[in-house]
Structure 1
């Protein structure tokens, strides 16, 4: 049976944010695994990676600027 996933995109983004740091309680991880929509996780991960790269590029340009 296919269980309906209940977590919102915002909850998914919060889980993705914490996963970038590698800090997550076991019970929170289990809850996320049971409730997050896999498509939201993929989109959130790509969005998080793009934001992270953008911040890195901004910092490097500010440091290297003359």
Structure 2
């Protein structure tokens, strides 16, 4: 269970966090990847990434609604 960490493993960078947040929006994640993310992601990065993802999602929805109403 408690395996020693490799030197290359450490805290994930922000782009890896954004990738994990992106996949979580779809609910698609392998168990192995989920466990890796849970061990390596910075919680602050996850919160910031989720807020960015929500802002992008809302922006896309507003754009689609405006395009639909304009026609």
**Same fold, judged at TM 0.5 (above):** yes
Gap regions ≥5 residues in structure 2:
1-9
Task: Let me know the Cα RMSD of the aligned residues.
Answer: 0.8
Q: How many residues align?
A: 62
Cα distance in 2 for partners of 1:60, 1:25 equals 33
Which string of whole-angstrom CA distances, capped at 9 and with x for unpartnered residues, describes residues 11-51 of structure 1?
A: 00000000000000000000000000000000000000000
Poorly superposed stretches of 4+, deviation over 4 Å: none
Query: Normalization by structure 2: what TM-score?
Result: 0.85
Cα distance in 2 for partners of 1:44, 1:29 equals 16
The equivalent residue for 1:19 is 24
Computing the radius of gyration over CA atoms, which structure comes out larger, 1 or 2? Answer: 2
Query: Normalization by structure 1: what TM-score?
Result: 0.91
